[in-house]
Structure 1
Amino acid sequence: MRGFAVTALEAPPFPQSRHVDTDITAEQSLSWAREQGLITNEHRLRRLRQAAAAELAGRACPDVAADRLRLLTDLVTWLFVVDDACDEDGLGDAPTRLAPAVADLLDVLDRHGVPGGASENPLGAALDDLCRRTRAQASPGLLLRFVGQVRDYLLALLWEAANREHRRVPGVAEYVQLRRHTGAVHPAFTLTDLAYDAPPSTSRRVEPALVDVETLAADLVCWCNDLFSYDKEKGPDAHNLVSAIAAESGRGEPAALRAAADRFNHTLTVYAQREAALLAEDNPAVRPFLTARRNWVRATYDWSLHAARYA
């Protein structure tokens, strides 16, 4: 499916870049995962190496301080571990199986990074570490946003688990909305804003134009991933844009693939237009916000071209 995605998707018209410490950060993040108990055997280590979290983060944040890149990379590493636990290890097969783990993680989030009462579960302990390190950056607004967005991600995983249990493929509109949360793009955006240390003010952050650009960027990241990963994910209960389109339209796989690619390409054009309008304002408080989103769109495309995770 990588061949189809390469030929059907338009490459994002944004500069390519990669952090100079990407390879170092990759090994540091794997060491962190071992220390947190997220890697317990060679199979899990191999899966994480194939995921190449640092490669994705290093392209999304090519020019930030090394400790900020580490924090983002460790978040992406943690997300890949959760994703694999749900999709491949059976944790997400049913809500009743997933709910105790989600409850433990929500308990971690409720502490907002305050030390004490760490989870005995490796996923919870690692999330607690991420929250504490985010809190230490002394940006309470971003900490609150991060915690809320991870909470949305966890609750959306329960939606996926219910779909798997009933072998249900959601409609396109439902899928598009929930995919923004199951993809965990928003907490990654927030830690990227933290890495650049220049988020827009709260009042500017909630302006419709910025909210619109963020939503478009999140969709592009998720749909790009869906098209590159379709071969790995397709099945009777697949959570993938192509599967949702095929089920709702009644058309076959080739037509659904083409429709998904067309949706990505059209949205990329709209995104570029909306971004250009904001850049024309020449507001220095908004430029880092836009840079972070365009970097994530480009990074996801470039990472997907080479990631062994979807080979």
Structure 2
Amino acid sequence: MRSFDVSALHEPPFASRRHVATDRVATESLEWARGQGLIGVGPSTSRLHRAGAAELAGRACPQAPVARLRLLTDLFSWLFVMDDICDDDGLGSAPASLAPMVAALLDVLDQHGGPTGAGASTGRDRPAGESASRADRDTPAGALGVALADLCRRVLDQHRPTLLRLVSQLREYLLALLWEAANRERRRVPGLAEYRQMRRHTGGVRPSLTLTDLAYGRPPGPVRRVDPALVALDDLTVDLVCWCNDLFSYRKERDSTADPHNLVTVLAAQHGRGEAAAFQVAAGWFNDGLAGYLAREAALVAHAGPTVKPYLAARRAWLRATYDWSMRADRYAGSAGEPGGTQPPHRSQG
């Protein structure tokens, strides 16, 4: 019996596709994560494998060059590991413990993947993608910093403006993790407007979309980036991806630590609803948002013409990929037939 019926969600009306190299990239990305020191043997490897990073990337970028598909998949792997450290290893409930790690990772971002301090060996002397040494992993940011530096260098090799945008978005993501940790420590459920804004950062969707645009080969230029219509469509895309994630992951989060960072939980607290009723309201938010996306997209095409097609194709693929991946992956597995029972961000989506 389904307590929370995900069939209440409207299926995104876009083609479902998958990159032919998805399985190969999955193997390569797992080896990359191991080489960077992100995972070892045992539970950490199993968790990352079950996350399905390549599956999500392969559906979001079904025709990308393989090297760029790998880059996106490796970003997802990094985000999944960071998410697991916060959610499953307890760091995400202890802001005072999380803060030093966040500060070290911000230093990596500030240096764009270059050296992060005296004696640091994470600079450009090591080729992008090469396995990290033990000395690399002993830097202040640890293996997460080593892998993040590698990602930054690889993006820089392909397109510097993309790196600048990625660094800014990952900085927002890291700082938002501290907001989550403070809420968990105080057992505080955020208000609805606050949650909606901060969820756009905690989900890791914006940096993921940035590398997806790179994979599609035509990242929007600065003029397009500040177009109000494009900004609004991007915000809505991020919302839909995060809400879809919340709905599929709700059972796992409810059964584990009652995490306050879920749209269903926030709606239940703000409106005094039971969880089943709040789930239906959240599903309605997703369905209404999807209808709004289609209307905004049509208006954008009428206004901007064919020049926005790669941009729109990437977002369509993301919405479809998130839905399909959520239905198949088991990262948020709960009881059969319930949200996560066939199951993304990462509460990070990535």
Query: Do both proteins adopt the same fold according to a TM-score greater than 0.5, normalized to the shorter chain?
Result: yes
Counterpart residue identity of residue 311, structure 2: F
1:191-240 per-residue CA deviation (whole Å, 9 max, x = no partner) reads 01111121222112210000011000000000000000001112544210
Q: How much has 1:140 moved relative to structure 2?
A: 2.2
**Secondary structure of the structure 2 residue equivalent to 1:44:** helix
Q: How much has 1:42 moved relative to structure 2?
A: 1.0
Find the aligned partners of 2:3 and 2:52 in 1 and give their Cα distance: 20
Aligned to 1:279: 301
Q: How much has 1:176 moved relative to structure 2?
A: 0.7
Aligned to 1:307: 329
| Cα distance change on mapping 1:6 and 1:43 into 2, 3 Å | same
Moved more, 217-226 or 115-124: 115-124
1:158 matched to 2:178? The reply is: yes
Find the aligned partners of 2:107 and 2:204 in 1 and give their Cα distance: 18
Find the aligned partners of 1:115 and 1:15 in 2 and give their Cα distance: 43
1:134 matched to 2:155? The reply is: yes
Say whether the 8 Å CA contact 1:168–1:236 is kept in structure 2.
no
Counterpart residue identity of residue 189, structure 1: L
| Cα distance change on mapping 1:43 and 1:22 into 2, 3 Å | same
Structure 1 stretches lacking a partner, 5+ long: none
Aligned to 1:106: 106
Aligned to 1:208: 228
Find the aligned partners of 1:2 and 1:135 in 2 and give their Cα distance: 47
Aligned to 1:195: 215
Q: Identity over the aligned pairs, expressed in percent?
A: 62
Counterpart residue identity of residue 177, structure 1: Q
Find the aligned partners of 1:182 and 1:261 in 2 and give their Cα distance: 20
Choose from 202, 205, 208 the match for 1:185: 205
Counterpart residue identity of residue 287, structure 1: K
Find the aligned partners of 1:18 and 1:288 in 2 and give their Cα distance: 17
Find the aligned partners of 1:44 and 1:2 in 2 and give their Cα distance: 30
Find the aligned partners of 1:147 and 1:5 in 2 and give their Cα distance: 38
TM-score (norm 2): 0.86
Say whether the 8 Å CA contact 1:228–1:310 is kept in structure 2.
yes
Aligned to 1:241: 263
**Secondary structure of the structure 2 residue equivalent to 1:286:** helix
**Larger helix percent:** 1
Moved more, 253-262 or 285-294: 285-294
Aligned to 1:229: 249
Find the aligned partners of 1:112 and 1:285 in 2 and give their Cα distance: 30
**Secondary structure of the structure 2 residue equivalent to 1:310:** coil
Find the aligned partners of 1:7 and 1:162 in 2 and give their Cα distance: 34
Q: How much has 1:114 moved relative to structure 2?
A: 3.5
Say whether the 8 Å CA contact 2:253–2:259 is kept in structure 1.
no
Q: How much has 1:142 moved relative to structure 2?
A: 1.4
TM-score (norm 1): 0.96
